[in-house]
Structure 1
Amino acid sequence: MYDSDQESTSLLPRKGAIGVPKDRLKIVYAIFYLLGIGTLLPWNFFINGKHYFMYKLRNITLPKNFTEYIKPEYETDFQVSFESYLAVAAMLPNVLFMFLNTVATRLIRLKIRIIIAVCTMILIFASTIVFALLNTDMWQVEFFAITLVCIVIMNAASAVLQGGVFGLASMFPPRYSQSVMAGQGFGGTMAAIANIISIAATKDALQSGLFYFSIALIVLILAFLAYLILPCLKFARYHTDKKSLRTSTFNGIDETNDNDTKSNVAFTKTTGAPLWRVYRMPKFGSNWLPFLSVSRIIFIPLFIFCNFQPRQHLNVYFDNDIAPAVIMVLFAFTNGYLSTLCMMYGPMNAQEEDEETAGALMSFFLALGLTAGSFFSFLLSKYLI
């Protein structure tokens, strides 16, 4: 749409033209942050809800008030295998529907995809709350199967939502993709905190599950309402209206001084106060980003040499608790930082009309990498360690 060597004169500022809308009070930024939390709610809350599911799948032949049903000698097959089934039921539909969402960017409107995905997730969370109120002891097999089906549907919807949100964020300045990533990171912490509070504030696992999944439902509803508010904001309409982006002219300069943005859309892709700049290093287009990303493979041997048990072949070189903690902090920081840069920079390589597809495609490859890593971890722990 634009000549890569010459800036379109139609986008040059003109005297007396209307200025660029501002993201006042950073409301749009906060909405994308909340949507980022919502995209990974199914995985975060189901994987952290072990206390509830272990009770639902416990050995019902034990005394009613028996509290040690999670000890290895008392565990049922359902309890032992639940997390493995959860990982498969979550990862496979996530990757598949990430891909389908990328294909659907030109076939189904973004708004429709996001609304259907969020409504589906709300219904599944609501049904999960209903199951928390029911006594499922006499039909554990059916409960186990229904739970897995819910996880499959939930993560399929989550994949569509995640791809849609990243596609939407790619129409905005890069910091809004960073906002989604930051929200996803906080979502895991929020789920863990919610689980701790629910266990501490209730008297049994059923009440804990009810309280816990109610929090997830409330957060998801808030995210949905926030998304519905988005079209009412001038700043959001400005960046999502492609016709307006191509034809509007305005006065002003690149307020964020983002030298690494595409020069041919510098005026349309950057706004906001200096306080909200996102520090980016390596810069856009630098070869250091792929190099640093690939170099993170060094964490694999570092983790292997920690005191991971059981092990059959390799020796332990880090037999204290400090080393794995430090390695994990560095691993988590580099993962979040570099993946955020990738999600921010990816859509900047695309033409404006392809930005949504680029954002969805980046989200798909992010999920594909996580899935491949999950399966590789099983092979690594079984055959190498």
Structure 2
Amino acid sequence: MAFRRRDKRTDRQVLVENEDVPHRDNAIDNGFGDDRFGTNADNSDEDDMKCMPTIDNELNISEICNHRQVVDSDAPPDRFNFTYVVFYLLGTATMTPWNFFVTAEDYWMYKFRNTSINGTTTVLTPMQKSFSSDLTLAASISGTTFLILNAVYGHLVTLKIKMLTTLIIILGIFIVTTSLVEVNTDDWQEQFFLITLFTVVIINVSSAIMSGGIFGVAGLFPSHYTTALVSGQALGGILSALAFILVLAFGAAPNVTALIYFVIGSSLVLLSTICYVIMSRQPFFIYYCEGRDKYKILADTPSHSRSVNIGVQLEPNIREVFGKIYVEAVNICILFATTLSVYPAVTVLMQSESYGKGYAWNDIYYMPVVNYLFFNSGDYFGRILAGLWEIPRDNPHTVLLLTVIRLLYVPLFLCANSSIHYFLPTLVHTDAAFIIMIITFGITNGYLANINLIMAPRSVMRHEKEMASSIIVASLSLGLAIGSLLSMAFVQML
């Protein structure tokens, strides 16, 4: 596809190298005629690229942006919505294995119990006491570090290498973890403790690279593919919550519970790997990832020939990209710092108003259903709602205002009904009020998160979209780390 500008001195050409778009119907003339777009053009904002001819044989990156638009009219169809479904699946795969890893708390407590005492005891061993905090610390530091590294250097590594390598590593770790469930580790608990933390680091490093890669690529697609990805993440939370509730209902032993969790997690990662390999060979996926993403601005030539084969690959600059999306990055960092500061560390300590009266709902199921299932369901609904009803649109400052207002949830949760209040008063007494709070907390989290993830790639040029999405995901992870640290302080404040 060629972009031609003719003046009295010479022909200057700006060529877009894309073998999948061979038709000349998409050529845009500088005369701004009515026929510059193909008849089947898709006018969505996700499919636009702005470009400008270079002058005097010098590539001026600042002049690439102009008022011309390329709207591709011959994008192959997403047959049977396969790519959309796989994005959904990959979103689920980025969260569910780790959720299962964390949810198997009874299993880890069993593995690190005091084996010198027969029967059960309420006294926790040092490893039992420190495991949750060590798990959170290892996951937060490793995940956040590599998400930031991915945002800076991720564009230097191909998506295929990032996705397949990380998926295979996660699958291998889960296979090893599953195989250790039935192994007696009582005689080497300390070694098993260190092995577990090491696997946590590897899983989170791999998940960070995979998440940064797939979110970066999702920014190259129309916005509803980003919605599919983030909705898949929320769906993973729902699946984990349902599995936890079912385990409580059947009263399975810790080893059996962990085996079920890890087998499901391994199967999900294996299915994601197979589906990704198939998706990567689909024309629709190739068109957006390996076609439209490889635009080159070629130097001016005085020749009328279109056989120019020398050019310069446009490379994103992280400072320029961050300067365009820093508001969205701050938004999503504050958003997830707010969420993680009280959920689940604080909210899991809340109790039903009828707790201790002998009702199974109040004593056993209230907290798993309300704290995990209701929150994740609200989060899932909020992300879908943002994809259908994107308001505010392209206004990050309004989103920032809404994110700051959402901070009001923090004191409300800190003052909700709990038996461990020592310093703060109880202001939220009823179950109905707490349920409304947790559902709306989840909805606002999902809605505002998806708005930011959709908005950021649209605020930059075509070759910057992948880096923009990676920066936003790194900011999200930074928010999670900050929120986890705040949650420790908030628990002590209760």
Correspondence 1:330 to 2:440 = yes
CA offsets, 1:143-180, max 9 Å, x none? 11111111111111111111011011111011111111
Q: Is the 8 A contact 1:177 1:344 kept in 2?
A: yes
Q: Secondary structure of the residue that 2:180 maps to in structure 1?
A: helix
The Cα offsets for residues 314-341 of structure 1, whole Å up to 9 and x where unpaired, read as: 2211122222221111111100111011
Are residue 187 (structure 1) and residue 236 (structure 2) matched? Answer: yes
Q: In the alignment, what sits opposite 2:329?
A: none
Question: How far has the Cα of 1:277 moved from its partner?
Answer: 6.7
Match among 81, 89, 111 for residue 34 of structure 1: 89
Partner residue in 2 for 1:102: 151
Distance 1:100 1:60 in 2: 42
Equivalent position of 2:393 in the other structure: 283
CA distance in 2 between counterparts of 1:97 and 1:193 reads: 30
Asked if 1:61 is matched to 2:116, the reply is yes
The answer as to 2:471 corresponding to 1:358 is no
1:360 match: secondary structure: helix
Aligned to 2:404: 294
Question: Structure 2 residue aligned with 1:211, among 260, 265, 270?
Answer: 260
Tell me the amino acid that sits aligned with residue 113 of structure 2: R
**Please, which moves more after superposition, 114-123 or 196-205?**
196-205
CA distance in 1, matches of 2:158, 2:145: 19
User: Match of 1:124?
Assistant: 173
Residue 250 of structure 1 corresponds to none
Change (3 A) 1:286 1:94: closer
What secondary structure is seen at the aligned counterpart in 2 of 1:153?
helix
Pick which of 46-55 and 75-84 moved more. Answer: 75-84
**Aligned pair in 2 of structure 1 residues 12, 97: CA closer, same or farther (>3 Å)?**
closer
Show CA shifts across 1:3-55 (max 9, x none). Answer: 555123xx357xxxx73322222211110011001112343111111122122
Tell me what 1:93 maps to: 142
- The change in CA–CA distance for 1:286 and 1:346 in structure 2 (over 3 A counts) is closer
1:177-209 CA-to-partner distances (Å, cap 9, x unmatched) read 111110111111212333444676785322332
Q: CA deviation at 1:211?
A: 2.3
1:48 equivalent to 2:48? Answer no
Matched, 1:376 2:486: yes
Could you say which structure has the greater relative contact order, defined with CA pairs below 8 angstroms and 6 or more residues apart? Answer: 1
Change (3 A) 1:246 1:149: closer
Q: Supply the distance in 2 between the matched residues of 1:345 and 1:188 (Cα, whole angstroms).
A: 24
Q: CA deviation at 1:115?
A: 1.5
Larger radius of gyration: 2
> Per-residue CA shift, 1:47-86, capped at 9, x if unaligned?
11112212212222333xx4xx4x6x24322223221111
Aligned pairs, how many?
344
CA distance in 2, matches of 1:195, 1:140: 25
For the 8 Å contact 2:90–2:229, the answer to whether it is kept is: yes
Distance 1:316 1:99, change over 3 A: same
Aligned-pair Cα RMSD in Å: 2.3
Partner of 1:22: 77
- Structure 2's unaligned 5+ residue stretches are 1-49, 53-64, 297-385
| 1:196-345 matched pairs, under 5 angstroms | 196-197=245-246, 204-243=253-292, 278-285=388-395, 287-345=397-455
Change (3 A) 1:364 1:141: same
Kept in 1, the 8 Å contact 2:393–2:455? The answer is no
Deviation at 1:100, TM superposition (A): 1.2
Contact 2:86 2:276 in 1 (8 A): yes
- Which runs of 5 or more structure 1 residues have no equivalent in the other structure? 248-275
Q: Select 2:160's aligned residue among 111, 134, 149.
A: 111
The aligned counterpart of 2:197 is 148
Asked if the contact 2:115–2:186 (Cα under 8 Å) also holds between the matched residues in 1, the reply is: yes
* Cα pair distance change 1:337/1:277, threshold 3 Å: closer
Cα separation, partners in 2 of 1:167 and 1:286, compared to 1, 3 Å? closer
Identity %: 31
For residues 86 and 358 of structure 1, do their structure 2 counterparts lie closer, same or farther at Cα, with a shift above 3 Å needed?
Answer: same
CA contact (8 A) 2:173 2:203 kept: yes
Taking a change above 3 Å as real, the CA distance of residues 245 and 287 of structure 1, as seen in their structure-2 partners, is: same
Alpha-carbon distance between aligned partners in 2 of 1:177 and 1:126, rounded to the nearest angstrom: 29
Change (3 A) 1:235 1:203: same
Conservation of the 8 A alpha-carbon contact between 1:21 and 1:234: yes
Query: In the TM superposition, what is the alpha-carbon distance from 1:244 to its structure 2 partner?
Result: 7.5
- Contact 2:412/2:427 (8 A) holds in 1: no
1:371 partner amino acid? A
Q: Normalized against structure 1, the TM-score is what?
A: 0.83
The amino acid that maps onto 2:238 is T
Name the counterpart of 1:6. Answer: 67
Q: Distance in 2 between matches of 1:183 and 1:205?
A: 27
Higher helix share: 1
Closer/same/farther in 2, CA of residues 283 and 192 from structure 1, 3 Å limit: same
